[in-house]
Amino acid sequence: MKIMHVSTRLILGGSQENTVLSCAGQADDGHEVLLVFGPIEGPEGTMLPAVEAHGGITPVETPDLVREIAPRRDWRCLGNLRRLIREHQPDVVHTHSSKAGILGREAAWRESVPAVVHTIHGLPFHPYLAKSKNAVYIAAERWSARRCHAIVTVADAMRDQALAAGIGRRTQYRTVRSGMLVEPYLDDSTSMLETRRRLGLPEHAFIVGTIARLAELKGHDDLIDALSPKMREDPSLHLLWVGDGYWSDRLLGRIRELGLEDQVHAPGLVAPDRIPEWIRAMDVLAHPSYREGLPRAVVQGLLSAKPVVAHDLDGAPEVCIDDVTGLLVRPGDHDGLAAAIERLRSDPALGVRLGAAGRELVRGPFDHRSMVRELEAVYRTVLDRPGRPR
């Protein structure tokens, strides 16, 4: 098949890693794969080197595919996407993220692409936006759902929330877990102590780690609010923030104001292939984010057999099952977040039990090869539908 993927920003992030692994797996299976993306800007890194290193993916940057609403640029982008579709004649156009999903689906629909597929990695509307903005996003997603054949979601929760907002038909939806390279997370050949020595982290501290952009709604402020009183009393309680973002200076400023800079480790951007190493150094992986699809960091923690604490929302409870594979906390419940982490600290056997159960739950469904197979099945179902012109 000829497959064209369209993604708004090729930064270091969960949806982008999902997209690149999908492209790589499809290219390895012998398909012709084109990846179209917008300008890569800001402090959040880039996945482009991984695309270029693979060799089987054709990357194409289109300059007017931008995240913000920009009517003139959006109109030019629509024209550029239609031109690329006419040039490459793809069998499948697969879009990712909100802006690329709206423009990409419209372009593919106008050009009569045989299979138009969209993945919802996370919904653009959520409780923390103004009602007027949510109304615009919901209207756009309803409109775009009528311009595609299939909608893939990374979590059942995304499907249910989209349908509740009147987006698409239930028959359009298929849940495909967001795949990753699982083997590095399953590798227990290096101990936590050895890993900490190599990374320059304190060997005997209790380290609560996050894998997330330092950005709005990712929950770093919640960790400060929940744990800073205990951290001031106990210098052996540490935070590890893996990632970078627009809120980095503000968050690290808060840490300095609290006098906790010696207990918070912020290595900044980390290449995807080094994430397993940083998780191995953690005692607990915390993910108190306020909006997600299904958080890859939670799955990565479970693959690493680490106990996980997450907010009880969106797709997180589908893998972080309370008291079975992790601990769930109500969003904004700082006391509950602190209590969950303290419970794991005081009961190491609980962490071992949760981590082992979590690894067993996710190691198969989240293997990138499973994702590639399931996506191909989605494409084939659309292409082989009865009555489709040949």
Task: Note the pLDDT of residue 135.
Answer: 95
Residue 35 near residue 60 (C-beta atoms within 8 A): yes
Task: Note the pLDDT of residue 197.
Answer: 98
Please, what are the domains in the chain?
A: 2-179+367-383 (3.40.50.2000), 183-362 (3.40.50.2000)
Task: Note the pLDDT of residue 389.
Answer: 54
Task: Tell me the C-alpha distance between 94 and 115, whole Å.
Answer: 8
Task: Note the pLDDT of residue 378.
Answer: 98
Q: Which residues does the chain have with pLDDT short of 70? A: 387-390
Task: Note the pLDDT of residue 310.
Answer: 98
Q: What is the pTM of this model?
A: 0.92
Task: Note the pLDDT of residue 147.
Answer: 97
Reported as a single tens digit per residue, the pLDDT across 151-171 is 999 999 999 999 999 999 999
Task: Note the pLDDT of residue 58.
Answer: 97
Task: Note the pLDDT of residue 390.
Answer: 45
